[in-house]
Chain A
Amino acid sequence: MADISQESGTKSYAATPDDKAAKHAEAIAHFKKRNKFGLYFWIPMVWLLFVLFCAVFAPLFGLPPADEIDWMYIKEGPNEVHWLGTDSLGRDMLSRIIYGGRVSLTVGFAAPFIGVGLGLILGMIAGYYRGWADEIIGIAIDTWLAIPGLVILLLFSVVFGGSLFMVCFSLGLLFIPTAARITRAATLNYAGREFVLAAKALGASDFRILTKEVFPNIIWPLIAFILIDIPIAIVIEGSLSFLGLSVKAPTPSWGGIIAEGREVLSTSPHIAMYPTLVMFLTVLSFNLVGDAIRRRLADVREGAI
């Protein structure tokens, strides 16, 4: 092998697995060492941190409760008492948007993690054990994919009701197939490597090989996948709220507030406009930040593939 690459002088195709592994590891080290992200990363990042901060520390701001009705101000625009105005029931918009952010962001983070977590387990089992386990999981995933996502969400909403956990869980289920496929392919790639055999030769069980040897190698594509899924989950949750299939009123979520504002759009546009704007900026920011990180991860993975 070494002779061939020296003679032909070509790089990419003659590269031995060791070269690739070295490049891969180097790229990861490079990624960890230097973080040269531009403004496209930092501006949306600041917005996300701000939104996250507001959502996490909401109770500390002395805001009126999100469902408290202020009879003095119904459907009012922004004023000194209610900075972003009130909705048609006289509830403080700022409070509703911030508390709604809690729901939207929780779903945005939890659903991809649940989906990727379950997909990871299935994909690892399929990719590591192959054989009938692989086949059964493959068939299950194909079947799952054949059911439209909305039907699944509707079903869960009707059967289990609209608790926050159920919304996260049912949405998470939609991310399983892709996560499982990514994990399976990556596991397949690493399970045959010599360091896995070396670990076995030192008495490692399958579980330890999967968690300690394979997992650290396949985490990167999964992180990239989670980054794509966060904004998607936020948008889907918004759509579900809009249809009244997400968390039950009066718990606010961005989609829910927008839906309520839609009815009075012509007279009080601010009610729908502010949550829409916040949601738009947040989803856009997640996409920009995710893209920036994914580009870096792609550099890392280029070495590996």
Chain B
Amino acid sequence: MGEIILDVQNQRTAFATGRGLLQAVEGVSFTLERGKTLGVVGESGSGKSVLSRSIMRLLPGTAITGPGSRVLLNGKDLTGMTEHELRRLRGPEVAIVFQDPMTSLNPVLTIGKQIAEVLVFHMGMSKRAARAKSIELLRAVGLPQPDVRVDQYPHQLSGGMRQRVAIAIAIACEPDLLIADEPTTALDVTVQAEILDLLGRMVRERNMAMILITHDMGVVAGRCDDVAVMYAGRIVEKAPVRELFGNTRMPYTAALLASIPRVTDPPHRKLDAIEGRPPDLINPPPGCPFAPRCRFASAECQQQVPALEGQGAHQYACIKPLNTGVAA
């Protein structure tokens, strides 16, 4: 076993809304080792982003964290930390790459300033050293002409280049854990693979751990060690990537796999292969949250929420698991 970077225990996150309590993340647990990449896959609204914000303790004021929830980063419990203590970890120990680099970069600051800012603050670098380091980082993420680009504004860069900049900022303080929240969803199909390759390379070169969030099973395939499938705020199946693809147990995972976009599909196609809609998170129906959409569901499935269990590394929350390969 490698060094454990992240240990999430029973993370529960709810939002106080006008209609009642919205349970966005419900009892998520997993660990992540150094050098490993965990893919988190799920439909829109399944709680992937809320989970990532919960790990970083970056939730809005309306969020309520469950009393038993614990997040251990490098063995340190983030749950009880003050905002001041958390600030010192964000950047040097955990960093995040957001979906859309156009909105996650400040439009009126040069990219050099945005990288240097972090270096000056966390690493105590001088302005000059920070600038040199910024150029070096931009070169490391494969931005062409880094010494010219460093003085440009985000809008002067293409989407792919902007995401490279966002990655450069995220890795600037050499975090142990990198969270990438749908890092390629807003990008051109042609550069998606490049960005994913870059993230993979950074994780390997810098020996980080990464959580790669996506709603695209295809993204996860060659790039993750383990995959966690999320549905309605829960992990419903979790396994090493080969095992998950080769021996899918949870019907929801099977449905996701069947919905992997094909090259012939139009761009920005939504995940619509699965019939029906995700459950209401404010008044969830009893039983398995996927039951109403599941072909294999029986009355039994509506009784109580199945626990996430299984032998060894492969776990799933289903009382009527598939035992053949991918369901057709």
Q: Which residues of A approach B to under 8 Å, CB–CB?
A: 2-3, 17-18, 21-22, 24-26, 28-29, 193-195, 197-205, 208, 212-213, 216-217
Chain B: CB-nearest residue to A2: B268
Chain B: CB-nearest residue to A130: B61
Which one of B100-108, B138-146, B202-210 contacts A?
Answer: B100-108
Closest Cβ of chain B to A60, distance in Å, is 38
Does B161 have its Cβ within 8 Å of any Cβ on chain A?
A: no
In the complex, which residues of chain B have a beta carbon less than 8 angstroms from the beta carbon of A193?
A: 103
In the complex, which residues of chain A have a beta carbon less than 8 angstroms from the beta carbon of B95?
A: 201-202
Q: Which 3 A-B pairs have the closest CB atoms?
A: A18-B102, A25-B107, A203-B90
Chain A: CB-nearest residue to B106: A195
Does B155 have its Cβ within 8 Å of any Cβ on chain A?
A: yes
Residue from A2, A29, A202 with most neighbouring chain B CB atoms (10 Å)? A202
Chain A: CB-nearest residue to B154: A25
Contact B108 A28 (CB under 8 A): yes
18 A-B pairs, CB-CB below 8 angstroms?
Answer: A21-B107, A22-B102, A22-B155, A25-B154, A28-B107, A28-B108, A193-B103, A195-B103, A195-B105, A195-B106, A198-B104, A200-B58, A201-B56, A201-B95, A201-B96, A202-B90, A203-B90, A212-B109
Does B282 have its Cβ within 8 Å of any Cβ on chain A?
A: no
Bound together, the chains give a CA A193 to CA B98 distance in angstroms of 12
Closest Cβ of chain A to B207, distance in Å, is 20
Q: Mark B115-131, 1 if CB is under 8 A from A, else 0.
A: 00110011000000000
Contact B121 A203 (CB under 8 A): yes
Closest Cβ of chain B to A223, distance in Å, is 13
Contact A200 B106 (CB under 8 A): no
Bound together, the chains give a CA A217 to CA B98 distance in angstroms of 20
Tell which of B86, B108, B169, B268 touches A3, judged by Cβ atoms closer than 8 Å.
Answer: B268
In the complex, which residues of chain A have a beta carbon less than 8 angstroms from the beta carbon of B121?
A: 202-204, 208
Contact A217 B88 (CB under 8 A): no
Residue from A28, A194, A201, A213 with most neighbouring chain B CB atoms (10 Å)? A201
CB proximity to A under 8 Å, residues B280-297: none
Whether A203 contacts B107 in the complex (CB less than 8 A), given A18-B102, A197-B58, comes out as: no
In the complex, which residues of chain A have a beta carbon less than 8 angstroms from the beta carbon of B39?
A: none
Bound together, the chains give a CA A28 to CA B121 distance in angstroms of 27
Contact B103 A29 (CB under 8 A): no
Contact A202 B98 (CB under 8 A): no
Whether A194 contacts B58 in the complex (CB less than 8 A), given A203-B122, A216-B109, comes out as: no
Closest Cβ of chain B to A187, distance in Å, is 14
Contact B89 A203 (CB under 8 A): yes
Closest Cβ of chain A to B94, distance in Å, is 8
Chain B: CB-nearest residue to A26: B155
Closest Cβ of chain B to A210, distance in Å, is 13
Closest Cβ of chain B to A14, distance in Å, is 14
Closest Cβ of chain B to A135, distance in Å, is 15
Chain B: CB-nearest residue to A1: B268
In the complex, which residues of chain B have a beta carbon less than 8 angstroms from the beta carbon of A212?
A: 109, 117
Residue from B87, B103, B106, B121 with most neighbouring chain A CB atoms (10 Å)? B106
In the complex, which residues of chain A have a beta carbon less than 8 angstroms from the beta carbon of B103?
A: 17-18, 21, 193-195
Chain A: CB-nearest residue to B173: A202
Does B245 have its Cβ within 8 Å of any Cβ on chain A?
A: no
Closest Cβ of chain A to B125, distance in Å, is 14
Contact B91 A202 (CB under 8 A): yes
Contact B107 A205 (CB under 8 A): no
Bound together, the chains give a CA A105 to CA B16 distance in angstroms of 53
Closest Cβ of chain B to A24, distance in Å, is 6
Whether A25 contacts B90 in the complex (CB less than 8 A), given A17-B103, A216-B106, A216-B108, comes out as: no
Chain A: CB-nearest residue to B94: A201
In the complex, which residues of chain B have a beta carbon less than 8 angstroms from the beta carbon of A17?
A: 103
Contact B88 A25 (CB under 8 A): no
Contact A194 B98 (CB under 8 A): yes
Closest Cβ of chain A to B178, distance in Å, is 11
In the complex, which residues of chain B have a beta carbon less than 8 angstroms from the beta carbon of A208?
A: 121
Whether A203 contacts B91 in the complex (CB less than 8 A), given A29-B153, A216-B108, A216-B109, comes out as: yes
Bound together, the chains give a CA A174 to CA B100 distance in angstroms of 42
**What 12 additional pairs, Cβ within 8 angstroms, besides A29-B155, A201-B90, A203-B122?**
A2-B268, A18-B186, A21-B107, A24-B107, A25-B153, A195-B103, A195-B107, A200-B90, A201-B95, A202-B170, A203-B86, A216-B108
Whether A25 contacts B108 in the complex (CB less than 8 A), given A2-B268, A203-B122, comes out as: yes
Contact A21 B102 (CB under 8 A): yes
Closest Cβ of chain A to B1, distance in Å, is 29
Residue from A194, A213, A217 with most neighbouring chain B CB atoms (10 Å)? A194
Whether A198 contacts B87 in the complex (CB less than 8 A), given A3-B268, A26-B155, A217-B107, comes out as: no
Tell which of B102, B118, B155 touches A202, judged by Cβ atoms closer than 8 Å.
Answer: B118
Closest Cβ of chain B to A281, distance in Å, is 35
